[in-house]
Chain A
Amino acid sequence: MVTIEGKWYDGKSSVQINAVLRFFDNAAVRVERADTGEILIQQHTFNARISDRVADTPRFLNFPDGSILETENNRAVDQLLQKMNTGGWMSLIYLLETKKRFIVFASLLVILMGAAMVTYGFPMAAKVIVSYLPKSIFDTADHQSLKTLDKVIFRPSELSASMEKSVRNHLKGIMDTHKEFGVKLLFRKGGRLGPNAFALPGGTIVFTDELIKLAKHDDEILAIMVHEIGHLAHQHAMRRIVQDSLLSFALLALTGDASGVSEIFLGLPIILTEMAYSRDFEREADQYALQYMRTHNIPLSRFTDMLMRIENFNAKKRKGKKEGNKWMDYLSTHPSTKERVKLFRDPGSENN
């Protein structure tokens, strides 16, 4: 005989009754009040749906008349299930949850799969998805992001007409050879962004006045242009959007609920990963620039000189703030200038 103590609820009211279930060896069952012994349920053969075991939470024995027995005595309930030979496949899940070795194995597997997804899965998926997107989306994206940037950061360019013309003339060749990307060149005053250049999803490339003024040679601007065209060739801007949304979506699915606190938990890892994606894109664009400059016999120093100058310019603006904090790399959208310059000075190491 198995006896299980618990609380009995008739399902019609919330009255709580201390009760004892007695399971006899002939499979008959009786539930009686703990205090008076009054019989609440009597069955010749045990007939109740038993809730699945989840950790050590109470079990609920559902009787056909709608009443339940709630008990914390999981061991006795499991004993009873064993006698009835009705475990159900959910009891298998509980078994997995309680096997230490399986938990370790599952954790490792999840970490591995997660890492593989983040490093290979999402970038690959994004590439495929982006290749299916209609052109109208790229154009809208360009239009929208430029509108926002113009409103929030950019001011109209203050370059002289002759200067703009000479830059355009110098870049005409490379723009003509990359017609398939729909390259459109714009100039803006960058304000607090300083010397910088951007490639928007649909082919718009924006140079800031500050960058043009900082350049000491037209080929330096050309080098930056090739880098930006590299972003276009690899469709980086759109891939970034898709990759980032895949990432947020996956993390949301993983953590199960979307409520409250979890959002801040998730914000930071998402940002860190997005930054890592962004650095990968920069490296790809750098590679693109490197190839182009080599085949067109442009000295590689044009690119590195320009990078160093931008770095120095920004450093001066920050007034001697310590640079090269190793861990700051993780918070950066670009690889460190040191790393990027190294690629161009020592192209043999490009493939690592």
Chain B
Amino acid sequence: MPWFYKDGDRKIGPISRDELMNLIRRKQITRKTLVRNTKMHEWLTLDELMRIKSQGMNKQPGRSASSKTPEMPAPKKDEPRETPSTTAVPLEKEIPFQFKGTGPEYFKVWIVNVLLSFLTLGIYSAWAKVRRKQYFYGNTSVAGAAFRYLADPLKILKGRCIVFLGFVGYSVINHFFPIAASILSVGLIFILPWLVVRSLAFNARNSAWRNIRFNFTGTYKDAGEAYLLYSILIPFTLGMIVPYVLFLQKKFVVENSAYGTNTFSFHATSKDYYRIVLKLLFLLIISGLILGSVIYLFPKLLLISAFAIVAMYLYAFAYFSVKSGNLLYNSSTLLKHNFKATMRVIPFLKIVAVNTIATVLTAGLFYPFAVVRSYRYKLEHLFLLPEGDLGQFVAAELKETSALGDEISDFMDFDFGL
């Protein structure tokens, strides 16, 4: 379980339990230092934490069972069978996610996909999608097992056909009854919650690890709340609730995702998202002011300034991807297992910048290399922090899901972002 501590106002972490113990031994963390782990709801000084611990029955930090302790939520009823050897299992500190794919290798898969999709007028694109996903899933592994993408290309093709026909139908209606079409397009907004749920469910149920599938159980009502209701309020609040909406959406996605019978839990707060967005805004305003005054003082540097604006855009993108990505993984828990993401803005920015320039210069041929580069960076900075046995997950009964929702959202360029 990841721990955090405060050095003055600075929040440091996540660090593992052993690292924490080390710091305590080296007196870098004193009895007065504020600490917390991802299960606790507030910061406590080490002293307070120890006191609570000693009242509890269990001596291991982070595992206290006393009724007043803020650390562990009440165990769920459907918790899988306890492994008899919980304490005996040696705690591996952190297990890195691994990605074995390479740019040149993916290029081959990609170019064949593109060519065949083109020659078959798009029909092959369903198989192409499965192959692309299989390439990335299959090359991704953790704890000795690779991920697996199981979607049936025929289902995807069916979804794509319906989307295509719908698009043609809409165009025809638009041609003859423009007013009916505009009413229809407003109505389309309201299928958004359905889209979100279907798409996430299709993806989750066709993803597996160790022969156990993931699942997604979000309801349309909750999706409507996170993706529609609060989004409608954004203009009325001058965008001030944007971070809150982001938080709601991530929470919705994580807390409704499951591996086997176990749902993920999410313990980030809306404050965390406000912090990210406000910091980014602050950085952008400062650099915008500097840039503005440079342009004002030296109008000759207009071209350089244009590049500076592109650079700012890339920076904002990298900053947001890294910070929100780290937050998402660091705040997600599955059973007692945690994740740790340690991406950093500047290295990721370098990757994104090179990707952008190279993709432009090669008219898109660098694209497969670019995707592999940024995917690998993300994966290489992701760790699983197991707390006990990884063999205790149990498969759930899953319903078949159609690919339609996933295909519509692919088509409409939505990204629910995980």
- Whether chains A and B associate is yes
A residues whose Cβ falls under 8 Å from a Cβ of B: 7, 9-16, 51-52, 54-58, 60, 66-68, 70, 90, 93, 96-98, 102-103, 106-107, 109-111, 113-114, 132, 134, 136-137, 251-262, 264-266, 268-269, 272, 318-319, 321
Cα distance, A13 to B364, chains bound together (Å): 43
Cα distance, A54 to B153, chains bound together (Å): 15
Whether A54 contacts B112 by the Cβ 8 Å rule is: no
The residues in B between 105 and 129 inclusive whose CB is less than 8 angstroms from any CB of A are: 105-118, 122, 125, 127-129
| B80 → chain A closest CB, angstroms | 8
A93 to chain B: closest residue by CB: B112
| Interchain CB contact (< 8 A) of B175 among A68, A111, A114, A134 | A134
Whether A57 contacts B138 by the Cβ 8 Å rule is: yes
Whether B392 contacts A103 by the Cβ 8 Å rule is: no
Whether B211 contacts A68 by the Cβ 8 Å rule is: yes
Whether B417 contacts A260 by the Cβ 8 Å rule is: yes
Whether A12 contacts B395 by the Cβ 8 Å rule is: yes
Give the top 6 A-B pairs by smallest Cβ distance, nearest first.
Answer: A57-B138, A9-B211, A15-B391, A14-B393, A259-B415, A14-B210
B355 to chain A: closest residue by CB: A265
| B190 → chain A closest CB, angstroms | 21
A268 and B321 contact, Cβ closer than 8 Å, known pairs A15-B391, A16-B144, A252-B413: no
Q: Does chain A have a CB within 8 A of B302?
A: yes
Cα distance, A114 to B363, chains bound together (Å): 10
User: Chain A residues near B110 (CB, 8 Å)?
Assistant: 256
A14 and B260 contact, Cβ closer than 8 Å, known pairs A111-B365, A252-B413: yes
User: Chain B residues near A9 (CB, 8 Å)?
Assistant: 145, 210-212
Whether B211 contacts A56 by the Cβ 8 Å rule is: no
A261 and B145 contact, Cβ closer than 8 Å, known pairs A9-B210, A54-B135, A93-B112: no
Whether A97 contacts B109 by the Cβ 8 Å rule is: yes
B residues whose Cβ falls under 8 Å from a Cβ of A: 100-101, 105-118, 122, 125, 127-129, 131-132, 134-135, 137-139, 141, 143-146, 148, 175, 178, 209-212, 260, 299-300, 302, 313-314, 317, 321, 352, 355-356, 359-360, 363-365, 367, 370-371, 374, 390-395, 410, 413-415, 417
A256 to chain B: closest residue by CB: B132
| Interchain CB contact (< 8 A) of B111 among A58, A98, A110 | A110
Whether A253 contacts B138 by the Cβ 8 Å rule is: no
Whether B364 contacts A57 by the Cβ 8 Å rule is: no
A54 and B109 contact, Cβ closer than 8 Å, known pairs A255-B364, A318-B299, A321-B300: yes
User: Chain B residues near A257 (CB, 8 Å)?
Assistant: 132, 410
Cα distance, A90 to B153, chains bound together (Å): 12
Cα distance, A266 to B137, chains bound together (Å): 24
User: Chain B residues near A11 (CB, 8 Å)?
Assistant: 211-212, 395
Whether A55 contacts B111 by the Cβ 8 Å rule is: no
User: Chain B residues near A57 (CB, 8 Å)?
Assistant: 100, 134-135, 137-139, 146
| B189 → chain A closest CB, angstroms | 18
| Interchain CB contact (< 8 A) of B302 among A10, A90, A321 | A321
Whether A255 contacts B100 by the Cβ 8 Å rule is: no
Whether B370 contacts A261 by the Cβ 8 Å rule is: yes
Query: Among the interface residues A7, A51, A257, which one has the most CB atoms of the partner chain B within 10 A?
Result: A257
Whether B138 contacts A256 by the Cβ 8 Å rule is: no
A-B CB contact pairs (8 Å), 9 listed: A7-B144, A57-B100, A103-B111, A256-B128, A256-B129, A261-B317, A261-B355, A269-B360, A321-B300
B213 to chain A: closest residue by CB: A11
| A292 → chain B closest CB, angstroms | 33
Whether A269 contacts B363 by the Cβ 8 Å rule is: yes
| B400 → chain A closest CB, angstroms | 16
